[in-house]
Structure 1
């Protein structure tokens, strides 16, 4: 009897082991976390002189900055692809850019978004510019000229005074527009 009992126990055990192993593995698949989305970076500048109230800037309905005239945000991450930018009055939510801007953001690129007013009687508009954030050469600084001056009668230029006369560093930036970054000598 003891032998028959030992044989039955062994057979039941051997039959149960595969079933336990089969069912123990089910339903415990650890899903890998979703990969982080590709991102770029953006800084937002409020240069809209005729908008005399703080505004909220939204990218795909997510608040990116709340700024008064003359203020700018720091660089912040933003998902790649098409981003719809809206600009609203911070206190009321009223839209101040009548047509939202659709901006294309690329992976690992940096951008500036300038809010401006085309003239004194219209709502705001947006200007997107790609930023070159590579370090300047030793002893140099990088600058760019952005023209948001709605009252200017022509393009703006940045000149440097020489011993005799002036030399254009950045020529003819039309409204609204921005030059590329250029390197100049650092210091006074």
Structure 2
């Protein structure tokens, strides 16, 4: 009986080995280059150091309103963080999966209660039509309770209603276009004249107060 049991155990072991050799492992996720840039949109903040996957990015500290150049990274699950210049204590760190070939803008901004947040914009790098520019708008004003719309001066609205912590789709406009921000509760309707040039891609981000919208511009290309 002892010899038979040993023989059966040996055959069983062979069967397990053969079976395991037939099980296919999932193919690893492909990895490639992507790009990101960072914006400090937190008014009154200390200049920020930027971290990617817990490693400090080799760029100058970003003061309020400053945006970095695009940095090349590898795609895949990632973490983006911000610290006060010279500190290693994160003000915030947020995960995001980055796709191959993707261009993203990482926004560091404050919530109305003073806590910090990070948002991500996917940047469309496709050139606009000949003679046109592309624009989009981002609402980062948590103190202004109403949504705002964006109208071409002398033309139609290009953004109907933009709530807080949202971005509009891109719109193509003529070179030299100017815009107005419209909303109830504003002390005035801000006029935006950014010297729009054909072939360029613009992101306008808006912060301010409970009665004022302040516009800033980033150029992608």
> Aligned residue for 1:63?
56
How far did 1:63 drift?
2.0
**Normalized against structure 1, the TM-score is what?**
0.71
Match of 2:125 among 133, 152, 171: 133
Deviation at 1:115, TM superposition (A): 0.8
**What do you get for the CA RMSD once the two structures are aligned?**
1.8
| Structure 1 residue 122, shift from structure 2 partner | 2.3
Q: How far 1:171 sits from its partner (Å)? A: 2.2
The residue aligned with 2:152 is 160
1:44 match: 38
**Match of 2:101?**
108
Deviation at 1:56, TM superposition (A): 1.1
Residue deviations 1:79-136, cap 9 Å, x none?
Answer: 1011111111113333222xx21111100111111111011x4231111111101010
Partner of 1:122: 114
Count of aligned pairs: 146
Partner of 2:168: 179
Residues 157 and 168 of structure 1 are in contact (CA less than 8 Å); yes or no, is this contact kept in structure 2?
A: yes
1:19 equivalent in structure 2: none
1:155 and 1:57 map into 2 onto residues whose CA distance is: 30
Q: TM-score, normalised by structure 2?
A: 0.61
Distance 2:79 2:51 in 1: 8
Find the aligned partners of 1:150 and 1:126 in 2 and give their Cα distance.
14
Q: Is the 8 A contact 1:150 1:175 kept in 2?
A: yes
Q: Which runs of 5+ in 2 are unaligned?
A: 1-30, 178-221
Q: Mind listing any 5+ residue stretches in structure 1 that lack a counterpart?
A: 1-36
Per the alignment, residue 17 of structure 1 pairs with none
CA distance in 1, matches of 2:159, 2:73: 30
Whose radius of gyration is greater, 1 or 2?
1
